[in-house]
């Protein structure tokens, strides 16, 4: 297994992995992949096994997010927008390896750390990887089911 930065040629393989994992319309996923592959202040990290992309981490140099700015100055932290692993490859520490590589990128960008938000179900994963809970905000994508999103931080 190899962890590396994604290239433009990875577009279709990334889309194939993301479609069943990310609960978003296909066009939105395509736009996000394209944006992260083309902009200098964004990147995608992939985990690859025998030419198959099995995991991903979408990084923003910084993300000026008012919900996160309640807890810290998000302009000084790299943000993980999306991170995930193919369900057939979970429990193999691939997510942790993606986080470590993402942290290396953030350090190269001379940021103070990494920030992300997540659901309660994955808090323990981030805590095992030395992220600390800064607080939470209410995500209201679905008006019927607003949910808590926890802000997790790892400082360097």
**Residues 68-82: pLDDT tens digits?**
888 988 889 999 999
Q: CATH number, domain at 90?
A: 3.40.630.30
Structure confidence at residue 146 (pLDDT): 80
Residue 141 has pLDDT above 80, yes or no: no
Range(s) of the domain holding residue 89: 2-114
- Is residue 152 domain-resident? no
- Is residue 102 domain-resident? yes
- Rounded Cα gap, residues 26 and 15, in angstroms: 8
Share above pLDDT 90 across residues of the chain, in percent, rounded to a whole number = 83
- Rounded Cα gap, residues 45 and 155, in angstroms: 20
What order of strands is seen across the sheet that includes strand 147-155? Answer: 2-5, 42-49, 52-60, 78-85, 113-118, 147-155, 132-139
DSSP 8-state secondary structure symbol assigned to residue 110: T
The total of structural domains in the chain comes to 1
- Is residue 83 domain-resident? yes
Express each pLDDT in 93-121 by its tens digit: 999 999 999 999 999 999 999 999 999 99
Express each pLDDT in 14-46 by its tens digit: 999 999 999 899 999 999 999 999 999 999 999
- Is residue 147 domain-resident? no
- Is residue 72 domain-resident? yes
Q: Are strands 78-85 and 52-60 parallel, antiparallel or unpaired?
A: antiparallel
| Tokens read off for 74 | 């998000």
Question: What number of other Cβ atoms are within 10 A of residue 95's Cβ?
Answer: 22
Express each pLDDT in 59-68 by its tens digit: 999 888 888 8
- Is residue 7 domain-resident? yes
pTM of the model: 0.92
- Is residue 18 domain-resident? yes
- Is residue 149 domain-resident? no
């Amino acid at each position: 297994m190899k962890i590396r930065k994604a290239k433009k040629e990875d577009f279709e393989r990334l889309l194939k992995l993301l479609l069943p994992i990310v609960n978003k319309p296909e066009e939105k996923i395509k736009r996000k992949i394209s944006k992260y592959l083309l902009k200098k202040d964004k990147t995608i990290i992939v985990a690859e096994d025998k030419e198959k992309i099995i995991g991903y981490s979408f990084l923003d140099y910084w993300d000026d997010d008012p919900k996160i700015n309640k807890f810290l100055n998000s302009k000084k932290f790299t943000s993980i927008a999306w991170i995930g692993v193919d369900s057939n490859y979970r429990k193999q520490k691939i997510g942790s390896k993606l986080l470590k590589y993402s942290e290396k990128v953030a350090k190269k960008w001379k940021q103070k750390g990494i920030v992300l938000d997540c659901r309660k179900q994955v808090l323990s994963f981030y805590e095992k990887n030395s992220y600390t809970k800064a607080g939470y905000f209410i995500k209201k994508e679905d008006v019927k089911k607003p949910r808590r999103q926890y802000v997790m931080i790892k400082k360097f």
